[in-house]
Chains A and B, each alone.
Chain A
């Protein structure tokens, strides 16, 4: 437990459900799916033809010339971070930028740029390759652009832990503020790699749903008919702030980031530990860090991606570390799986669940797995008083991150 309190004072997102936090949250509470038939012509050549594409294309928000030097993952990181920053009102508050850090990651990075520029290289030779290629594809690019945009001078960090990245970004942000290295951290995750190569790779692992004829029903965590995750793109950002700093300036406070737990499985590069032992240890560490016990956690926004193996393992982990009482949900049933941005978007969903006293639904849970013995907010949002909630994120490589948010 730390004696430095950290709170959330700003939220930003651009997702398959909406171009900002409000529209994304409205869509979640209404149980809308952001999944559809891909609008890209190459999809016809692949076994997976569905995905969760951004509701608002970044080119509608960022001008054409600027977009020439931004990878799509960087552009949407900027959009989410700027929304969160404006929401927090810190520019008006005159924050000393030497007290501002950035913690922003991506699971895969600037692969769209890498692949598109490689096509240009093959077809037209070196001279035609964009001189912006390297800063567009480097994995620290999104974090760096956010840092430049906000003039952050206390350090810019870019982590990569696959689908746990967004949550790890929150955990690092918490550590930075607790250590005294910054008063404010803009933390988030971004992912935008809807391209035939990652699609082919994930499809050939048999990790993705092939429910091509019913895209909005494809992401169905814990349902017997689940057949893999649905690839999504998006970005989410939080402004984390030392609580006394936020209170001193009269900031609007969404919730408290009370604790974080990180573990690694040491088990397999892609398979989750079948009993979710590493995940359960992360949840336990997060509780300890927050000074809470499992009994305090009323709601868990689960990692559950709609894969046959992972979904049920996490149930074992939640029961072992938290208990059988929390109302759980997987908002991936609506947003699809945003990979490196998932932990950021789901942190936002967890925080807003606390604020609004409502658990967003898990849609498509029509025929629950026989072993599902926890209470899921299936089909419809559920009113619930939530003093404390948890968000889980697990990534290829055996990365496990659990975050605990509490009412401020």
Chain B
């Protein structure tokens, strides 16, 4: 089982690769759209990459609930 910190750091890697987000800016309280400037199409790429990295399924109707990095970490932690 990955810790929350490990999941956050894994998401930071994905965000850097897909959207050019500085890993230092990635923290649980940050909003994907408002703070990290991840648009809807990049978010799709982030979700697909996260599914692969963490071995989870993130259905489309869940994605809209993942507003912050912390939301995504919690979902991945609970489902992987």
Check A68/B48 contact, CB under 8 A, given A131-B41, A132-B41.
no
Q: Are B48 and A65 in contact (CB under 8 A)?
A: no
Q: Is B20 an interface residue (CB 8 A)?
A: yes
B-side interface residues, number (CB < 8 Å): 8
Complex Cα distance, B45 from A131, in Å, reads 7
Q: Is B36 an interface residue (CB 8 A)?
A: no
Check A64/B48 contact, CB under 8 A, given A69-B41, A131-B41.
no
Q: Is A63 an interface residue (CB 8 A)?
A: yes
Complex Cα distance, B19 from A64, in Å, reads 9
Residues in A whose Cβ lies below 8 Å from that of B20: 63-66
Q: Separation in Å of the A351 CB from the closest CB of chain B?
A: 37
Q: Is B18 an interface residue (CB 8 A)?
A: yes
Complex Cα distance, B2 from A249, in Å, reads 62
The interface residues of chain A, by DSSP majority, are classed as loop
Q: Are A128 and B19 in contact (CB under 8 A)?
A: no
Residues in B whose Cβ lies below 8 Å from that of A131: 41, 44-45
Which of B18, B41, B48 interacts with A127 by CB under 8 Å?
Answer: B48
- Beta-carbon nearest neighbor of A64 in chain B: B20
Complex Cα distance, B44 from A267, in Å, reads 47
Within 8 A of A (CB), among B1-21: 18-20
Q: Are B18 and A68 in contact (CB under 8 A)?
A: yes
Q: Separation in Å of the B46 CB from the closest CB of chain A?
A: 10
Q: Is A2 an interface residue (CB 8 A)?
A: no
Q: Separation in Å of the A261 CB from the closest CB of chain B?
A: 42
Residues in A whose Cβ lies below 8 Å from that of B44: 131
Complex Cα distance, B41 from A130, in Å, reads 9
Residues in B whose Cβ lies below 8 Å from that of A66: 20
Check A128/B41 contact, CB under 8 A, given A64-B20, A65-B20, A68-B18.
no
Q: Are B45 and A130 in contact (CB under 8 A)?
A: yes
Complex Cα distance, B20 from A132, in Å, reads 16
Q: Separation in Å of the A339 CB from the closest CB of chain B?
A: 29
Complex Cα distance, B14 from A65, in Å, reads 12
For A63, A64, A130, A131, the residue with the greatest tally of chain B CB atoms inside 10 Å of its CB is A131
Complex Cα distance, B12 from A375, in Å, reads 64
Interface CB pairs A-B, < 8 A, 6: A63-B20, A64-B20, A65-B18, A65-B19, A65-B20, A128-B48
Chain A interface (Cβ < 8 Å from any Cβ of B): 63-66, 68-69, 127-128, 130-132
Given A64-B20, A66-B20, 11 extra CB contacts under 8 A: A63-B20, A65-B18, A65-B19, A65-B20, A68-B18, A69-B41, A127-B48, A127-B51, A128-B48, A130-B45, A131-B44
Closest A-B pairs by Cβ, 8 of them: A65-B20, A131-B44, A131-B41, A127-B48, A132-B41, A65-B19, A131-B45, A128-B48
